[in-house]
Structure 1
């Protein structure tokens, strides 16, 4: 049995659709919005690597350890980013959320919070996960702050853990949220999304 079934998740004008090769042009355009592949501490594909990025994600999905979505603006169908479950461990009912990036034009909007809410709700309330994890580069301070704003707890740092795209070796900061903490985190995320924006 597959732990993560293909499903489209939607809320607040944003849809998370299972990634497929038909999203190649949309993902390339989203990454070009801000030339995101130039950011040293992210996983955004260079334009010519977009197809391989999708093929790799689909191979990992086939292997059962990653499920990738594209974030889409529901009203227009425009691809605005991507996020995944990865390091999926069905026996532990654990997933991590990562490979997340958004077009520059939708950063600092409701999009990231909405996508995280959708992915966390699906993990805890549909898949019955006991824990959801995150990992990020020790120099990706924006990502660490965003994960901490979600209410996740810092588990620690894995030193000398992974290669960056430039060939340097990074330390990885690990975070997690347990099922018992989810109701309070969900309430806070909904509160922040429902606040009027000035």
Structure 2
């Protein structure tokens, strides 16, 4: 049975550290880079809601939230979480992920996912890691598929959006038997990105 606890992970210039209120100003600045709260398909907080966003992340059962930090400058550039942690079946999901606009389509997402997936499979010994996104978040779906995750299906009328509409949720997963190949693929992608 897995036991997920806050931990600091670092790789490729990216550090994941347990999210706390001391990340408030940095997270607010990261969200302002691109005014990400204006996207109806994400959970990025508006500036005045950032403290409540962090408190909710810390108080939500079965969730371990991280600040995503540029290790060279100690700048907060986003956030991500393990969530819907199910120890009885050795399952976690990775989500609540967003990055400052200037860090999107860079090495950051692949590096973060490699850190979280490596920790989940190699340290926690998870059987499966799930990922999910809004049915209209095509960029997120493409990013998840580039990781090597398999599409499990769509949960219809599944969760409310910030604008009051209800989204369908696209579910993905990686199972333990696929991890070696996914890990090799992610390292290959990072090496190509560095060229």
Gaps of 5+ in 1: none
Residues 1:26 and 1:160: Cα distance change in structure 2 (over 3 Å): same
In the alignment, the residues of structure 1 paired with residue 3 and residue 40 of structure 2 have an alpha-carbon distance, to the nearest angstrom, of 32
Aligned to 1:90: 87
- Cα distance change on mapping 1:146 and 1:127 into 2, 3 Å: same
C-alpha spacing 1:164/1:9, structure 2 compared with 1 (3 Å): same
Q: Corresponding residue for 2:116?
A: 119
Deviation at 1:5, TM superposition (A): 1.6
CA shift at 1:3, angstroms?
Answer: 1.7
SS in structure 2 opposite 1:17?
strand
Runs of 4+, deviation exceeding 6 Å: none
Matched, 1:147 2:144: yes
> Are residues 139 and 25 of structure 1, via their aligned partners in 2, closer, same or farther at CA, if it must alter by over 3 Å?
same
Q: CA deviation at 1:196?
A: 5.0
Could you say what the CA RMSD is over the residues aligned between the two structures, in angstroms?
Answer: 1.2
Query: 1:197 Cα shift?
Result: 4.1
Unaligned runs of 5+ in 2: none
Count how many residue pairs are aligned between Structure 1 and Structure 2.
195
CA deviation after TM superposition for structure 1 residue 136, in Å: 0.6
Q: 1:174 aligns with which of 156, 171, 174?
A: 171
Residue 194 of structure 1: CA displacement?
1.0
Please give the secondary structure, in 2, of the residue aligned with 1:86: strand
Deviations 1:86-126 (A, max 9, x none): 10000111000000000011111100000000000000011
**TM-score, length-normalised on structure 1?**
0.96
In 2, the alpha carbon distance for the partners of 1:2 and 1:89 equals 8
Q: Secondary structure at the match of 1:114?
A: helix
* Distance of 2:56 and 2:67 partners within structure 1: 14
Q: Give the SS at the match of 1:147.
A: helix
